[in-house]
Structure 1
Amino acid sequence: MTSSRDLAAFAALLADETRACFALALLDGRAWTAGELARHAGVAASTASEHLGKLVAGGVLAQERQGRHRYVRLADDRVAHLVEELAAYAAPGAAPAPRTLRESTVAAAMARGRTCYDHLAGRLGITITQAMTTRGLLGQDTGFALTERGARWFDDLGIDLAARGRRPLVRGCLDWTERRPHLAGVAGARLCSHALEAGWCVRIGSERAVKVTDAGERALHALLGIEPGILR
């Protein structure tokens, strides 16, 4: 069993602003180099290396080397889920006003639609989740559950949900901007991949933000009855 000391030690891994900044950046699902994370957090390379060592040793991050570069990413989707939920609980009040035009633009884009590790979040993710629930594809009565109709819906789209290992098929992930759960798990991840591969969404900027395309608006309206104006 996990002891109070173990829990405190793990919590301490994210109880540092630089390490928390790294974890939030890595929610984009990509692998970053130590140098990229250092520049993102505005710290020296030596400082970043020290913090990354602690996160890797604590199981928050996984690393791999390619030549001279060391890449790190979140260890798995469970860690991503934890970071996203902590972010939602960490700021229950109104978010501070953006200080620059760029911050305002990025904040608006992230709130409109983004990836949370490997699934869709923000207003886009919540809208899709709610539409799936309304159409009987997803149940939320006692936690998230994919209905038989929902399984057929994924199958009709050509999205294979069979091979998933130990990862849950569906689960709710608390959205830190909308404060409601969006679809995560295998179904959420593969729907996100499908949306990007089919050109329904495109990534914008260097953040996690995604934008729904005209083709995506048409597809989501046809498949889920989502009005295009809601996604803009």
Structure 2
Amino acid sequence: MLTTTGIAQIAALVGDPTRTAMLIALMDGRALTSTELAHVAGITPQTASGHLARLTDARLLTVERQGRHRYHRLASATVATMIEGIMAVAAEPINRPSRAVRTGPRDAAMRRARSCYDHLAGEIAVTIADRMIERGHIGHLARGSELTIEGAAFLRSIGVDVDVALLRVSRRRLFCRPCLDWSERRPHIAGTVGAALLTACFEHGWMRPTAGCRTLAITRAGIHALDAHFSIRGEWPISG
């Protein structure tokens, strides 16, 4: 049952700078050990264990055991959406002179393409959403989205496994939904469709993860694919 006390408790947990650093480190969908998360937060592993226990008890994190190791990851896409939303709000200017506002990360590569939990975010992701709306492949993304029959056929034609995306729909996981982009401040595609699209980008060799961060590198094949499928052109560093 939703209560104001419950909201306040979650806000207090996420609002701690140490725990915030840990949650952001998990936003690329990886599972990390307490030692790795302690390093990210700049604290000892013993102190990290207490923070991680509180986040796990609140169902913000889940723990996976593999041999002697315990790996922590975000408990759900809902948690990732909450964090991304907080990041977007936190980047808004407060009582500053009226002038051009630069939102999101300063790093050009992260602004261009990054992972948002299990789906694609950044300038490229927002442009893909724009193209699919223009073509009638997605409807009403800003108000709650739907993938049209034509949109499903298009995604299948470029190698996105829409059928697997359908199978992964659940009470807590929507098929196709908007996610407000941290840097662009417009929606990109999330839900199981968004996850399937990012999976296709990896499987087809269009994009590659960057070690230790959420940034995604665009390959030569990816540059051609973005142009051919979404009419996205740009002067980008090439990875492979």
Q: TM-score, normalised by structure 2?
A: 0.87
**Which among 196, 206, 211 is matched to residue 190 of structure 1?**
196
- State the Cα distance separating 1:231 from its structure 2 match: 9.0
What residue number does 1:101 align with?
none
User: Pairwise mapping of residues 1-232 of structure 1 onto structure 2 (< 5 A)?
Assistant: 1-93=1-93, 107-140=107-140, 142-158=143-159, 159=161, 160=163, 161-166=165-170, 167-229=173-235
Q: Which amino acid aligns with 1:157?
A: I
Displacement over 6 Å in runs of 4+:
95-98
Does structure 1 retain, via aligned residues, the 8 Å contact 2:22–2:41?
Answer: yes
Does structure 2 retain, via aligned residues, the 8 Å contact 1:124–1:231?
Answer: no
Does structure 2 retain, via aligned residues, the 8 Å contact 1:201–1:211?
Answer: yes
- State the Cα distance separating 1:57 from its structure 2 match: 0.3
Deviations 1:167-220 (A, max 9, x none): 211111111111111110011000000001100111224211002211111112
Alignment partners' CA distance in 1, 2:188 and 2:112 = 13
Q: Which runs of 5+ in 2 are unaligned?
A: 94-100
Count of residue correspondences: 225
The CA RMSD over aligned residues, in Å, is: 2.1
- State the Cα distance separating 1:135 from its structure 2 match: 1.7
Alignment partners' CA distance in 2, 1:131 and 1:222 = 12
Q: Which runs of 5+ in 1 are unaligned?
A: 99-103
Does structure 2 retain, via aligned residues, the 8 Å contact 1:112–1:231?
Answer: no
Alignment partners' CA distance in 2, 1:195 and 1:87 = 25
- State the Cα distance separating 1:156 from its structure 2 match: 2.0
Tell me the percent identity.
44
Deviations 1:91-149 (A, max 9, x none): 21257999xxxxx6xx2221111000011101121111111112221112642211111
Does structure 2 retain, via aligned residues, the 8 Å contact 1:135–1:224?
Answer: no
Alignment partners' CA distance in 2, 1:227 and 1:178 = 17
Q: Which amino acid aligns with 2:56?
A: V
